[in-house]
Chain A
Amino acid sequence: MGREVGPLAVGAGVTGLGLFFLLGALTIPGEALYAAVGPRAYPTVIGAGLIALGVSFLIAARRGTEFPAAAGPAERGAIPWILGGLVLATALITPLGFPVAATVLFLFAVRGFGSRRWARNVLYGAVLSLVVYVVFARALGISLPGGPLDRW
């Protein structure tokens, strides 16, 4: 996101979210029972509020009065690695269990921060995930899928 486009996109996003709530409110069935506050009242007010705020933000962004520039240069490569790690881990947790998914997540996250020592990071990630799994699933009794470990 460039410095110019970013805030405008944020304002547009807020306005869009407002439209989502306002239009969504129309499709909610049900009438007000006692008073004026049925299931649609809050969504309508919140949707309208978000639209008004989003438009104000757009105006402020165009004038350049509202947003501070984020500090430091951006590392563009970082975000896809971390998001990719989260997506993979989410996909893997059911078939392969928490320890494997968390190891993959760790591996992608450290790569996102620029660490390329794969072998060492696999070791760190695996040890961390296993310890977390043993402490939470076995010692504290939290239900976590163990994947291959479920057999023990």
Chain B
Amino acid sequence: METLAALGQGFAVAAQPVHLLFAFIGAVLGTAVGVLPGIGPALTVALLLPVTYNLAPTASFIMFCGVYYGAMYGGSTTSILIKTPGESASIITALEGHQMARRGRGAAALATAAVGSFVAGTLATVGLTFLAPPMVSVALAFGPAEYFSLMLLAFTTVSAVLGESRLRGAISLFFGLGLGLIGIDTQTGQARFTLGQPALLDGIGVVLVVVGLFAVGETLYAASRERDAEVTPIRGSVWMTPEEWRRSWKPWLRGTAFGFPIGALPAGGAEIPTFLSYLAEKRLTKHPEEFGKGAIEGVAGPEAANNAAAAGVLVPLLTLGLPTSATAAILLAAFQGYGLQPGPLLFEQRPDLVWGLIASLYIGNVMLLILNLPLAPLWVRLLMIPRPQLYGGILVFAFLGAYAANNSVADLVILMVIGLIGYVMRLYDFPAAPVLVGMILGPLSEQQLRRALAISQGDPSVFVTRPIAASLVAITIAILIVPPLLSRIMRSPVKA
């Protein structure tokens, strides 16, 4: 009941005309930018940050959530029509959705993705609403030792579980941790790795890294590797047939059931649930022959899972201050930009902001459904922008985003360096999310480790004697050693 009252307060905030307007602007901008090929939700949020620099925090976060959800909707359009997923969680959608588009059912694929995103997004937001308060009570019991152990777990899962190569994931993570070291050490006031540059004393901004890795790195990659992409035109009925509805609704619900819980785990991520959902639909379908050739279940399930996970990721972000995806890392940076630290205290100190944000997710989802179904042909026209001009435009916005944060030319130089690194990472398939999670959680974990050891007077056994911390450490160790052990035991005679 208390939760419902809080949510009611949230709706009172979110339903103010100004906030509705910002939610709407966010949803439109998020969809429009998210539709552009090669731009995933993380980059969309980063590129649109400057829009909110002069807004009050509540308005700004309401807009952000519109952008975040809008980018998820927009991304599925791109995956289906030109098979360039802007992020790894859309890869599965791209597989089946693009096949549907080629068979002339692109419109139905877009519709099942949009309605599925709406169903999953709304259900997952309900999940967020009711899971957040108990998580907050758990989080209040967390001391520095627990936080540090939780961060260790997040480091491990984001680098070792999510990608295809643990080695490359770990390299990305450590690179991010290294970036996080740059600047003034918060506890001792020592400048670290600033190379004598005053511009580096405050550290490297997360937005700069996101824009560098995703926008500049991706542009360099696209320019050197894949200049052309074919847009599959939408043909046929713009609406789903009754048969397609029948085949879609169960995958939507199952996808949500995969997406939200996995996204809400402090380990997080949207890739695994989309993949699980696809496998489940493939097993359960009555039309196995269509899989790989454009089965609607293969779009409906993963797309729902993807959106549900996107809402799930907000649970650890809002209640623990723990980002588990690239987009969540930017949202956290945006919070920090306003001097706010997500976590249990934020629920107490700024309930208007937190609950207004959650309420605006419900509203945003409705707006997005309305925007996406009838306006799909309009978004598709954005895909027709020729690649040179499209990427030229992306670079202009990247340049703006990198410069506008501090009006600093040094930031533009850093942007180029990070962009080149992003290009190499893209070339050799290094995941980007561990970089961001490492760079933002690295300094936080250092702080928690110091606090934990200060409280225990230097005794490191706190991490194994306190039950929550000890279990988190045990899970972390299990994730690190069990899979390699298993593969050693069950080593197949034929090496893949």
Residues of A within 8 A of B (CB): 1, 6-7, 10, 13-14, 17-18, 20-21, 24, 28-30, 33-39, 42-43, 46-47, 49-50, 53-54, 56-57, 60, 66-68, 70-76, 78-79, 81-83, 85-87, 89-90, 93-94, 98, 101-102, 105-107, 109-115, 121, 124-125, 128-129, 132, 136, 140-145
Contact of B427 among A6, A14, A129 (CB under 8 A): A6
| Chain B window 205-245, contacts with chain A (Cβ cutoff 8 Å), 1 for yes, 0 for no | 00000000000100110111111000000000000000000
State whether A43 and B50 are in contact (beta carbons under 8 Å apart), knowing that A34-B453, A53-B170, A113-B223 are contacts in the complex.
no
In whole angstroms, what is the CA distance A51 to B477 when docked? 21
- A82 near B404: Cβ-Cβ < 8 Å: no
State whether A28 and B458 are in contact (beta carbons under 8 Å apart), knowing that A109-B219, A143-B407 are contacts in the complex.
no
Question: Could you tell me which residues of chain B, from 138 to 174, have a CB within 8 Å of some CB in chain A?
Answer: 165, 167-168, 170-171, 174
In whole angstroms, what is the CA distance A71 to B391 when docked? 19
Among B5-13, B282-290, B372-380, B442-450, the one that faces the other chain is B442-450
State whether A24 and B188 are in contact (beta carbons under 8 Å apart), knowing that A105-B396, A114-B388 are contacts in the complex.
no
- B412 near A57: Cβ-Cβ < 8 Å: no
- B453 near A29: Cβ-Cβ < 8 Å: no
Residues of B within 8 A of A (CB): 50-51, 53-54, 165, 167-168, 170-171, 174-175, 177-178, 181, 185, 187-188, 190, 192-193, 216, 219-220, 222-227, 386-389, 391-393, 395-397, 399-400, 403-404, 407, 409, 412-413, 415-416, 419-420, 423-424, 427-429, 442, 446, 449-450, 453-454, 457-458, 460
In whole angstroms, what is the CA distance A87 to B223 when docked? 17
Contacts of A90 in B (CB 8 A): 409, 412-413, 416
- B453 near A86: Cβ-Cβ < 8 Å: no
- B396 near A93: Cβ-Cβ < 8 Å: no
- B396 near A21: Cβ-Cβ < 8 Å: no
- B225 near A70: Cβ-Cβ < 8 Å: yes
- A79 near B224: Cβ-Cβ < 8 Å: yes
In whole angstroms, what is the CA distance A38 to B429 when docked? 35
B87 to chain A, nearest CB (A): 18
**A75 — nearest CB in chain B belongs to which residue?**
B224
State whether A109 and B188 are in contact (beta carbons under 8 Å apart), knowing that A50-B178, A86-B399 are contacts in the complex.
no
CB<8 Å pairs between A and B, sample of 6: A37-B449, A42-B446, A49-B174, A79-B224, A141-B54, A142-B404
**B413 — nearest CB in chain A belongs to which residue?**
A90
Contact of B419 among A21, A86, A98 (CB under 8 A): A86
State whether A128 and B429 are in contact (beta carbons under 8 Å apart), knowing that A17-B175, A78-B220, A93-B412 are contacts in the complex.
no
Contacts of A106 in B (CB 8 A): 392-393, 395-396
- B225 near A82: Cβ-Cβ < 8 Å: no
Contacts of A42 in B (CB 8 A): 177, 181, 442, 446
Known: A50-B175, A79-B220. 17 other contacts (CB 8 A): A17-B178, A33-B188, A37-B446, A42-B442, A43-B193, A46-B177, A46-B178, A66-B165, A67-B428, A67-B429, A74-B225, A83-B416, A86-B395, A86-B412, A128-B396, A129-B396, A136-B400
Contacts of B446 in A (CB 8 A): 37, 42
A42 to chain B, nearest CB (A): 5
In whole angstroms, what is the CA distance A33 to B190 when docked? 13
Contacts of B171 in A (CB 8 A): 14, 50, 53-54, 57
Q: Which of A47, A83, A107 has the most CB of B within 10 A?
A: A83
B25 to chain A, nearest CB (A): 11
- B392 near A132: Cβ-Cβ < 8 Å: no
Contact of B450 among A13, A34, A89 (CB under 8 A): A34
State whether A140 and B226 are in contact (beta carbons under 8 Å apart), knowing that A42-B442, A70-B428, A114-B388 are contacts in the complex.
no
B166 to chain A, nearest CB (A): 10
- A29 near B223: Cβ-Cβ < 8 Å: no
Contacts of B165 in A (CB 8 A): 66
- B412 near A142: Cβ-Cβ < 8 Å: no
**A76 — nearest CB in chain B belongs to which residue?**
B224
State whether A35 and B224 are in contact (beta carbons under 8 Å apart), knowing that A102-B396, A140-B54, A142-B404 are contacts in the complex.
no
**B407 — nearest CB in chain A belongs to which residue?**
A143
- B227 near A113: Cβ-Cβ < 8 Å: yes
- A56 near B188: Cβ-Cβ < 8 Å: no
B219 to chain A, nearest CB (A): 6
In whole angstroms, what is the CA distance A67 to B167 when docked? 10
Contact of B453 among A35, A87, A107 (CB under 8 A): A35
Contacts of A121 in B (CB 8 A): 388-389, 392
B217 to chain A, nearest CB (A): 11
In whole angstroms, what is the CA distance A116 to B427 when docked? 26
- A43 near B181: Cβ-Cβ < 8 Å: yes
Contacts of A29 in B (CB 8 A): 190
Contacts of A107 in B (CB 8 A): 392
- B181 near A46: Cβ-Cβ < 8 Å: yes
